[in-house]
Structure 1
Amino acid sequence: MMIRRILLPAFIFVAIWSCKKDDSPSVEVVPPRLLSEVSVENDATIKEFLENHFYNYEEFANPGPDFNYRIVIDSIAGDNADKTPLSEQVLTEVVKVSSTDLGLPSEEVDVEHTLYYLIAREGIGNQATAKDSVYLKYKGSRLNGTVFDSRFGSPTWFDLPGSISMQSAPSVTGFREGVAKFKAGGEITENGDGTFDVKGSGVGLIIMPSGLAYFQSSSVGEAYAPLLFEINLLVAKTKEDEDDNIVK
């Protein structure tokens, strides 16, 4: 799962191999870029994406009997030239990140990053928090549409803040803070075969700069890449609820 935070020592940099005249390998160490520099670039890229794309909001407003509540994003052009852009529908929150949060060698403190999120369908259940364990479906992609991780066919549990006892790393900041903007579903119906259905789950998007995700890591296919997550939040449980497992 790509959403987990990759914990790296502060002294590890991106290494680029080159060869000397004697053909013996050498390493040129390139330090990570500054958070403050990348944040501005990423935000401009995200804003351009939001201004030029829309989602199937009309289907969400008037869902047919077979609508699957999946978000479909397309470009505003041609027959879709009159669609309302995502830029007019998303909400935002500023999240401060310091270089120490990402294990970076620079000494930047509280660099502001803008997190964007869209609630396509509000859940009818409880409000999630960044400290919850959540059961959800998700798809992660870069803004060019390249998918790097997906669990829409098989929902999964995430302990958003991480758990030492469960040996799970915390989720990346943007995902953790973004999920906390959504409400979970309501009534849970067990199907008798180990599966269950959740009524009225929360559906939407989370769009984040790389400083709230993997920053210089190329684990998503590209370093310093802004990311987009489509989520369907089924269940959100507080720490106090964990002994009363709804789904095992």
Structure 2
Amino acid sequence: MKLRKILVLLLIVSAVFTACEKDDGGPEITPLRDATEVYEEDLEDIETYLQTHFYNYEEFQENSPYSLENDAFRIVFDTIAGDNADKTPLKDMVDFKIVPFDGIDYKLYYLKVREGLGDVVHFSDQATLFYEGSSTIDNYVFDGVVNEEQFNLLTVGSSSGVVPGFQQALIEFKTSDSYSTEDDGPISYHNHGIGAVFIPSKLGFFNSALQGVPNYTPVIFKFNLYRRAILDHDEDGIPTFMEDRDENGDAYDDDTNGNFTPDFLDNDDDGDGYFTKDELEYGEYTIMVGDPEPVFAENEFEGSRTENNGVITIKTVIVTDRDGDGIPDYLDIDTIPEI
């Protein structure tokens, strides 16, 4: 089952209690388990896994980190035992971050085999990647792909993003900085991020049982992160990641004009009656694959990027402040666009 399909199922069932049968044959509602209690169990399970498992780091270290040979590297986990008793445990190799979610600060461990040399990934981007999802119980693989797939990292409306733990790990990595093809074969990406994340169940699928994996189970995602596309969900000219004004990773709590529609879904952010896209300026750059990146002005940001036969077209957004009051025109109700 693909990750996208799993997430659609999660959206459907996450608000519904699990039903079982009473002795008299009627349905009985089983309440959700306490999230704090589950997290304590999850953290113990994850840290035990990290202490008792290793990854094939020696295979990766045979070559320099950003060698062509390592571009095709895949992470493999195994137990520290027998012939592998002297291996370095994952616990000594992982990083972690604290992720606040639903009133709990979660410790999210991630393995950064290689950060990547390409573009940073924003919480609201679309990512192209190879991945495999497995259980911390027995390494049972419940999901994965053969070829790369695209996923939106932010859930909007009825669309499904990735689970929060996966999203929070991916933004710690960068994409590839180049690619190549041979004889019309598949694309080979170079110098991309390679890693894994160990996700407490609340940042994953929580009470939604996966095929072969019980509910309330921590999960692992291994991934190779190839590309990202910057998304502008309301098509107002401002990329969604820029509409997270307080930079807390939550675009839903930014509502400049107070109309109960977050800025990233509002095409008139300041409520002055003029479309946001008309209160911006725009630029465009053309380069060839492998050329140095253009240097943007301080108030200029990449809005989109396309590639056709080796020619890269980069369109930019230029945020103006014509009255010099420190408030961008598109957020300043006192400044109207020049017609």
1:89-114, CA deviations, whole angstroms, 9 ceiling, x for partnerless residues? Answer: 1011111121xxxxxxxxxxx11211
Q: Give the structure 2 partner of residue 237 of structure 1.
A: 229
Greater relative contact order (Cα < 8 A, sep 6+): 1
Partners in 1 of 2:165 and 2:95 — Cα distance? 14
CA contact (8 A) 1:60 1:121 kept: no
1:166-216, CA deviations, whole angstroms, 9 ceiling, x for partnerless residues? Answer: x52121100111111111111133557484221111111111000101101
Q: Give the structure 1 partner of residue 166 of structure 2.
A: 175
2:101 is the alignment partner of 1:97: yes
| Structure 2 residue runs without a partner (length 5+) | 232-238, 240-301, 309-339
Q: CA RMSD of the aligned region, Å?
A: 2.3
2:120 is the alignment partner of 1:127: yes
Partners in 2 of 1:158 and 1:10 — Cα distance? 20
| Alpha-carbon distance change, 32 to 232 in structure 1, aligned in 2, over 3 angstroms | same
How many equivalent residue pairs? 229
CA contact (8 A) 2:178 2:189 kept: yes
| TM-score for both structures, normalised by structure 2 | 0.62
2:141 is the alignment partner of 1:147: yes
Partners in 2 of 1:14 and 1:193 — Cα distance? 50
Q: What amino acid is aligned across from residue 196 of structure 1 in structure 2?
A: I
Partners in 2 of 1:246 and 1:14 — Cα distance? 47
Q: Give the structure 1 partner of residue 154 of structure 2.
A: 161
CA contact (8 A) 1:136 1:156 kept: yes
Q: Secondary structure at the match of 1:217?
A: coil
* Matched-pair identity in %: 32
Q: What amino acid is aligned across from residue 149 of structure 1 in structure 2?
A: D
Larger-Rg structure: 2
1:32-71, CA deviations, whole angstroms, 9 ceiling, x for partnerless residues? Answer: 1011110011000000000000011111111398664011
CA contact (8 A) 1:129 1:181 kept: no
| TM-score for both structures, normalised by structure 1 | 0.84
Partners in 2 of 1:11 and 1:126 — Cα distance? 36
2:215 is the alignment partner of 1:223: yes
CA contact (8 A) 1:174 1:212 kept: yes
Q: Give the structure 2 partner of residue 70 of structure 1.
A: 74
Q: Give the structure 2 partner of residue 101 of structure 1.
A: none
Q: Give the structure 2 partner of residue 35 of structure 1.
A: 35
CA contact (8 A) 1:162 1:170 kept: yes
Q: Give the structure 2 partner of residue 14 of structure 1.
A: 18
The Cα shift of 1:163 comes to 4.5
The Cα shift of 1:243 comes to 4.5
| Structure 1 residue runs without a partner (length 5+) | 99-109
Q: Give the structure 1 partner of residue 176 of structure 2.
A: 185
1:147-178, CA deviations, whole angstroms, 9 ceiling, x for partnerless residues? Answer: 11101x111011101345xx521211001111
